[in-house]
Structure formats: C-alpha cells, structure tokens
Structure 1
Amino acid sequence: MSDALINGVAGAGGGIIAQLITYPLQTVNTRQQTERDPKKEKTKLGTLDHMCEVVKHEGWGRLYGGLAPSLVGTAASQGVYYYFYQIFRGKAEAIAIDHRKRGFGDGSVGMFSSLIVAAMSGCVNVLLTNPIWVVVTRMQTHTKASKKNIPSQALRSPEEILIGLEPPPYGTSHAIQEVYDEAGFWGFWKGVIPTLIMVSNPSIQFMLYETLLKKLRKRRALNKNSGKGVTALEVFLLGALAKLGATVVTYPLLVVKARLQAKQIVCTDKKCHYEGTFDAILKMIRYEGLSGCYKGMSTKIVQSVFAAAILFMVKEELVKGVRLLLGKNGALSKPL
C-alpha cells in the first residue's frame, strides 16, 4: 500500500470522527452565517442559546440535518485532499532533493512550496466535492416549522391531514431536487469561486502545521535526553493553533460561500438576491457592514479548531498504526 493511500484513508477516518463530534456546532454556524432577518439579528444568541432554540422549536434531529451527506462529503474531501497532498508533497520533496544536488537549498520542502502543495490539493478537492457541500448547506439551513405554527386541522387540506401533524421529512433527495429546480446542473457548483479561494485556508493551516511540526521534531532530535517522538496531545495542539490562524484570515469567504449555497430568499428586495461572489460581498458590506462578513465567527472558531485538532490527532495515530501493521506484514510500499 502506498504512503499516499495510507494518508488518504487515515485523513478520511479522522475527518469522519471530527465531523461526528462537532456537527451540531457546524449546523448552528451555517445558520448564523446565512441569517438575514433583521428581527432575528437584533436578538444575538450565543452558540449554546442558538442550539437550545433549535432543539426547542425543531427538535434534536435538526442539529444533525444533512449529517449523512456531510459524512460522505467529509470522507471524500479528506480522502481526496490527503491523497493528492501526499502525492504533490512527494513531488516537491523530490524537486527539493534534486536542487540540493545542484547546490541549491538544504533538500527540505520550504514554506512556500508547502503552501503551493496544499493549494493544489485543495483545488482538486473543491472541484470534485462541491456538489456534496451544496446539498449539506441546504439541509443544514432548512428550518422545520414548530408544532405551534402548524395550522389547525380545520385549515389544512385532506392531503396534509393524511400525512399527520408533522410535515414530510426534508431529506437528501429533496435537497438535490431543490438545487436542480432552482439552478439546474450548475447549481451544484454554487459557491465554487469563494470555495476555490478558500483553499488558502487549508493551505495556511497546513503551512503552519508542517512548519511547527518540523521545528518541534528538530528540537526533539537535538535534545539527546528526549527519546520520545511527537505525542498525540502535541499534534492536537499544533493542529488547533494552525486552524485558528487560518480561520481568522479567511472567515468572510465562508460566509459568502454559505450565502450562495443556501436556498435563495424569494422577495422583491434586490439585497436578498446574489448574482455571484463579488455581488454577495458588495451587498453584505453595503447592507450589513463589515460585521456581516464575520457572523457566527466565534462558533466557527470553536468548531473548526476543535475539529481540525481531532482530525490531525486521529489521522496521525491511524497512519502510525497502519504503517506499523503493514510493516510487520511486509506490505508497505515505497512512498510515491
């Protein structure tokens, strides 16, 4: 088994575990990003208060709306990203070694090269998995009417009475059909431009992570009294720190992406409709101010930092375990 494939599978596994643990925070954050009702904006709810409101009026299930396609998307995204990241990094390392033979550099992959490798991997990932995330966003932002708002039996049609008080569940197929009816085939690539720009987020994240990890390993190597390698807790903290820095820089793009992928509000007011990425940015700043570009940021920082830390920790442990297992069986092939 190649090293790239090991990292791809480990990345998918780590991503799924992180997603399961932090998904309610992700749902709340997506709703905060797409909220444009002035009345609701005046009552600025904290993360926990927002979660309680969803549970109170829509039930626990709504916190996990879109979980199934999200898990598929996470596995696909992390698997694709880590697979291509390892391949591109292998190529970059080969180039660095070749340059050292020619008398340039020390043979290691520099910060800029790490940034390029992460960006290329991110672009491949975005183009392949964007349709999944459009569906997930639709399901996360779909609001279920509370029972007190359901019309009485006398005001409801025979069809509505037959299906009971609860409206039919909004599932993956409904979201897919809704996106297609609204914008056709290309509707599944809504928000792809800000998402492509957002590859700078994992690029910055991985650049910081690889740099910090490299320095920590070098320090351990110089310390003769320290025979242990990098621990899972240290990887957790490095992953959290790297994600925090990347999230603060790129958050406004996340808000734009969520607004474009969510169901478009039907009204005569032009500020409700976004023609594209730049139109969305201009209207957000014009009608909501700069604060509109950072809606739900505190929730996102908690969710993304925690998820990234878990992902890195689990991924590294899975890679170690698989390499150890395959090493014993003599099945580990040379890295690509």
Structure 2
Amino acid sequence: MSDNVAHALSGAGGGIVSMALTYPLVSISSRLQVQKNDASKDAYKNTLDAFVKILAKEGPKGLYSGLSSGIFGIAITNGVYYYCYEAVKAIFEKAKGKGKPMSTGESMLSGAIAGCAVVMATHPIWTVNTRLTVKKGVEGDEKAPQANAFSVGAQILKTEGIAGLYAGVRAALVLVINPIIQYTVFEQVKNKVSKHKTPGNLDFFLMGALSKLCATAITYPYIVIKSRMQVSQQGDEKYSSILDGFKKIIASEGVTGLYKGISSKIVQSVLSAAFLFLAKEVLFDWSVWVLVLLGARKARITAPAKA
C-alpha cells in the first residue's frame, strides 16, 4: 500500500485537531457571513460582539453548534483531499523522476483535482453543518438546540430534495481555488525552506499559517456567497447564481457585505491551517506505524550504509 492512505489518515487527524481547537471562530464567522440585517438589536457588530452575545443568549454550547458534523466533515474532507492530492502528486513525481519537486502548475492541477473530488463528496455535510451552526433553515428555530446533523439532513431532503444538500455547490467548486492557492504556496515555500534546512514543527506551523492567509484573503467573497446559499432563503433573498449573489449583496450591503466576518475567518483559517499542517506532519509517521501493525503496508527497509 502506498503512502496515500497514511497521508489521508494523518490529514484527517490533523483536521480534527484544528477544527476542535478553532470551532468557536468557525461558528462566529458563519453567523456573521449570513447576517444581512446589521441594524437589528440582536445583530452582531463584530467578532467580539458576536462572541459576547452568543455566550449570553446560548451559553458556551452556542459557540459549538454543529461541532459533531464539523468534526466529521473535516475528517472526510481532509482524508479525501490528501489521498487524491498525494495520488496525483505521485504521478507527476514519477513522470519527472525521483527527487524532483512539483512545479507551481503541477501543484495547482493536483489541488484542483483533489478539491473537486472533495466538494462532490462532502458538500452535503457542510450544508448541514452551516445550518446547524447559524441555526437558520432548521425546522422550528426555537428547536434548533435539539437538532442534530441527521435530523437536519433528513429535513433538507424532505423539503428541498438532493438539490438542497448541494445548495451553493457552484460557489464551492469555485472555492476549489482556495486549497489550490493554499497548498501551492505551502509546497513552494516548503521547497525553498528545504533547500536551506530540514523544516521543523515551527516551520510547518508558520508555512501553514502563511499559505492559508493568502488563500482566504483572495477567496473570501465566494465563502460568504456559498454560506448564504447553503442556508434556507426565500423570495428576493434567494440567490439564483453566484453572480446574482454578488449583485444583491453589493446592492443592499455594499462591498463590505462581501467581507462580513472576515476577521474571525482569517484568524480561524490561519490557526486551523497552522495546526493542521503541524498535526499532520506529527501524525504521518504514526499513521504509517499503525498501517504496518495492521499489515496494511510493508515497513520501510533502510538500505545499510556502505563501508
């Protein structure tokens, strides 16, 4: 068995660690993204205001609404992504010859293929997670605290069909560029650092943070539109397409509407990516070890040094 499975397992584990550590920021950012009426008494003015209001109204549990589906979603997302990414990467490296790193174009193509696979496999999970997090489009909002991922998923299927689970999927496919930018920046920075020294845990942490900062800053308007399309919208509020979403947000909220919640999202994304890359590197050797113990792969045999 190739290292693809080990990469998938370590990527899933790293995603779980990063999601668990940063989920309150995920929750706050999602609520700010879908908020349209800033004049309301209960509206969130910024990240800190949202944090205080959620705690006051819902308690600590409010900051972790939808955590279980988020953990499940990130594990599947990262597992599928890393497996596909490493598989395509291995094909490129085999074609170029051992020891030669991928070019920027090859990194981007690998990311695009892996990203599309992830979107089609996991988008329904994130639609459910978004509705649980923002508690909008969940039948009987007053019952939202008792709702769970299965009941919300069943409700969406019943009222909206499969299309409801894939609401906003076009924006999500456009957002494939996010991990492309992220992993391309990461791979290229890693290659440059590796020329001077062997990267350590701090290096992986900083490279992960830098790569995600670049990706999130560039793609954030699409993140806002995708989140709004994933929640239940009616009448004139509903976006018929990505372009329609851009037009309606700019018309009613101005350009700043496209960047609602960006401060909490950037902090969460940067920390999440940093913890992810750090945890993945740490967990990779453990994943290989577990697979060897289970007999799923052969142990690496190191050739003895020549006298």
- Do they superpose with TM above 0.5? yes
C-alpha change, 1:262 and 1:326, in structure 2 (3 Å) is: closer
AA in 2 matched with 1:29: S
Map of 1:169 onto structure 2 = 146
Cα separation, 2, equivalents of 1:306 and 1:87 = 27
- CA deviation profile, 1:65-117 (whole Å, cap 9, x unmatched): 1111111111100000000111000011122239xxxxxxx943101110110
Cα separation, 2, equivalents of 1:244 and 1:168 = 32
Shift, 1:322, TM fit:
3.8
Matches within 5 A, 1:235-274: 235-264=204-233, 266=234, 270=236, 272-274=237-239
Shift, 1:22, TM fit:
0.5
Map of 1:64 onto structure 2 = 64
Shift, 1:326, TM fit:
6.7
Map of 2:305 onto structure 1 = none
Map of 2:126 onto structure 1 = 133
What's the secondary structure of 1:124's corresponding residue? helix
Shift, 1:168, TM fit:
6.9
Shift, 1:332, TM fit:
3.5
Larger radius of gyration: 1
Equivalent residue for 1:209, pick from 186, 198, 210: 186
Is 1:7 the counterpart of 2:7? The answer is yes
Using the TM superposition, name which of 1-10 and 46-55 deviates more: 46-55
AA in 2 matched with 1:170: A
AA in 1 matched with 2:156: V
Q: Does the 8 Å contact 1:2/1:333 carry over to 2?
A: no
Tell me the percent identity: 35
Map of 1:101 onto structure 2 = none
C-alpha change, 1:140 and 1:325, in structure 2 (3 Å) is: closer
Is 1:310 the counterpart of 2:300? The answer is no
Is 1:188 the counterpart of 2:165? The answer is yes
Shift, 1:331, TM fit:
2.4
TM-score (norm 2): 0.89
Matches within 5 A, 1:288-299: 288-299=253-264
Map of 1:280 onto structure 2 = 245
C-alpha change, 1:326 and 1:195, in structure 2 (3 Å) is: closer
Using the TM superposition, name which of 131-140 and 107-116 deviates more: 107-116
AA in 2 matched with 1:194: A
- CA deviation profile, 1:207-233 (whole Å, cap 9, x unmatched): 00000011111112xxxxxxxx21111
C-alpha change, 1:241 and 1:39, in structure 2 (3 Å) is: same
Q: Does the 8 Å contact 2:190/2:207 carry over to 1?
A: yes
Q: Does the 8 Å contact 2:13/2:280 carry over to 1?
A: yes
Map of 1:200 onto structure 2 = 177
Q: Does the 8 Å contact 2:239/2:245 carry over to 1?
A: yes
C-alpha change, 1:42 and 1:136, in structure 2 (3 Å) is: closer
C-alpha change, 1:238 and 1:175, in structure 2 (3 Å) is: same
What's the secondary structure of 2:146's corresponding residue? coil
Map of 2:139 onto structure 1 = none
Map of 1:120 onto structure 2 = 113
What's the secondary structure of 2:97's corresponding residue? helix
Cα separation, 2, equivalents of 1:41 and 1:204 = 38
TM-score (norm 1): 0.81
C-alpha change, 1:321 and 1:177, in structure 2 (3 Å) is: closer
Cα separation, 2, equivalents of 1:63 and 1:89 = 37
AA in 1 matched with 2:95: I
Structure 2: unaligned runs, 5 residues or longer: 137-141, 302-307
Map of 1:31 onto structure 2 = 31
Structure 1: unaligned runs, 5 residues or longer: 99-105, 144-149, 151-165, 221-228
Shift, 1:307, TM fit:
0.3
Q: Does the 8 Å contact 1:2/1:332 carry over to 2?
A: no
